[in-house]
Amino acid sequence: MAGSFLDRLTLDQQAGAWFDQTRRYMLIRPEALMGIFRPLPAANRAEALSALENSIFEQGTDSAQAYRAMGGTGEALLDVIAAAAPQLGWGIWSFGPATGVVRLSVRNSPFAVGFGPSEIPVCAAITGMLRAVAGLVLDRPAVAREVHCASMGADICRFEAWPVETWPVETST
């Protein structure tokens, strides 16, 4: 693997932009991002969080493919993603052992912290990234969901991803 995310990150001061190769990044406070969703009516909030998940899935697939191209395949890709997450400010990621499913625990999710208390899971960005990564690890399209969220009172956020064709109606963690 070609260095850590922070080792690859470069600042183009003339353009006012951060890059990891060709992928541009920016810094934004979690409260500012999640503050977009908080005042929305419940139905609109769920739809907007779903749009965030889908956007992160699309862009995260590009990032995950770049990590895979640098040598992070299978379990090694999960290690690369887990190492990059805290460097991006996305909390502490830990992938759990499982067969045919990808399980993820996230301590200190910036999305849960930035949103505050909620009646629904709010870490849609992590769900989108997990869906992207799981698709590469499982080598087929995946579906992901947040099964426990710190915004809802859980100690940590927990996620799972399954191949689309084996997605269970109900799962246990």
| Structure token pair of residue 75 | 């379990």
Burial group, residue 151, by CB count within 10 angstroms (0-12, 13-18, 19+): buried
User: Is CATH 3.40.50.720 the classification given to domain 29-166?
Assistant: no
Tell me what the mean pLDDT of segment 95-123 comes to: 95
Say whether pLDDT at 72 is over 80.
Answer: no
Averaged pLDDT of the chain: 91
Q: Residue 170 — very low, low, confident or very high, per pLDDT cuts 50/70/90? A: low
Q: What is the mean pLDDT of residues 66-83?
A: 84
- With a pLDDT cut of 90, the percent of the chain lying above it is 71
Task: Give the bridge partners for 23, in sequence order.
Answer: 20
Contact criterion met (CB below 8 Å) for 53 and 130 = no
**From edge to edge, which strands make up the β-sheet containing 142-148?**
92-96, 102-107, 157-163, 142-148
**Considering the entire predicted model, what is its pTM?**
0.90
The ranges assigned to domains in the chain are 29-166
Tokens 């399209």 -> residue? 141
